[in-house]
Amino acid sequence: MRATGPEGPLAAIARRLARAEASVCLTGAGVSAESGIPTFRDAATGLWSRFDPEQLASVDGFRNNPNLVWRWYRERVQAVQDARPNPGHIALARLARSLEGFTTVTQNVDDLHERAGSADVVHLHGRLTAYRCLECGTPVQLDLAQRLAAEPPVCAACAGLIRPGVVWFGELLDANLWEQAYAACQQADVMLVVGTSGLVWPAAELPLLARRAGAHVVEVNPEDTELTGWADTCVRGRSGEILPLLADQVERIVS
């Protein structure tokens, strides 16, 4: 069911958010698109339409050609370093400040939510710069020069290669992060689903879990997705345009 009426859907969503005891937002690559970070599945600009995920985003790919994979992620690190949070990220940070019990769960490996002011973001697919040893798993802090080096550094403990802290194909999500995301969806009265194609599981299951637990699910995306059929309300448009309007309405209600 889609919200209708003279006020449009945003006013109704804002009222739901303002009276919710808890709410959650799941974001995907679309929320960072307006910061110039390419999404994965856009037919023209998406990363996976131009690069082979098996080669670049898997343990086997890294073992086969560590320098190639490292340099590909080095470009991602540089792109994020050069990017700025966009109005969508900033609006989500405003919502988190205005609302009680607002949890941000992201599939994105960039830090643009944090740089926009969101705290305690649940990074389901890891973080680009949470490096660790491929072999022994020891976490490693790298400075910018090391992150942008031509080859992966080696682990001081076991001489294994250092890898980016992202979840690669075939790897399990961190159980603790999944628990946090799951709990937020179980408790939420409203769930915003922003800028994700809903094609990658188990993240794509979260809106279904939230809805089954009673949440009103709102999709914000310029296009229909796999999750559209599960949404109670769909708002078609870019997150950088829609979310600031929503944050304005919420702030008007709660202030």
Q: Is the dihedral of CA 145, 147, 153, 157 positive or negative?
A: positive
CB of 53 to ligand OAD, least distance (A): 6
Question: Which token pair is 16?
Answer: 């739901």
Among the listed residues 89, 113, 123, 125, the single catalytic one is 125
Near ligand OAD by CB under 6 A: residue from 25, 99, 167, 191:
167
Closer Cβ to ligand OAD, 202 or 214, answer by number: 202
Interface with ligand OAD, residue 244, by CB under 6 A: no
Site string for ligand OAD, 61-100 (x = CB under 6 A): ----------------------------------------
Closer Cβ to ligand OAD, 22 or 93, answer by number: 93
Tell me if residue 125 is catalytic: yes
* Distance from C-alpha of 85 to C-alpha of 108, rounded to nearest angstrom: 13
Contact by Cβ (8 Å): 95, 25: yes
* Stretch near ligand OAD under the rule CB under 6 A, chosen from 15-23, 28-36, 67-75, 140-148: 28-36
Site string for ligand OAD, 122-141 (x = CB under 6 A): ---x----------------
Near ligand OAD by CB under 6 A: residue from 103, 197, 233, 249:
197
Catalytic (active-site) positions:
125
Residues found near ligand OAD in the complex (CB under 6 A): 28-30, 33-34, 39-41, 46, 57, 107, 125, 166-167, 195-197, 199-200, 221-223, 225, 238-240
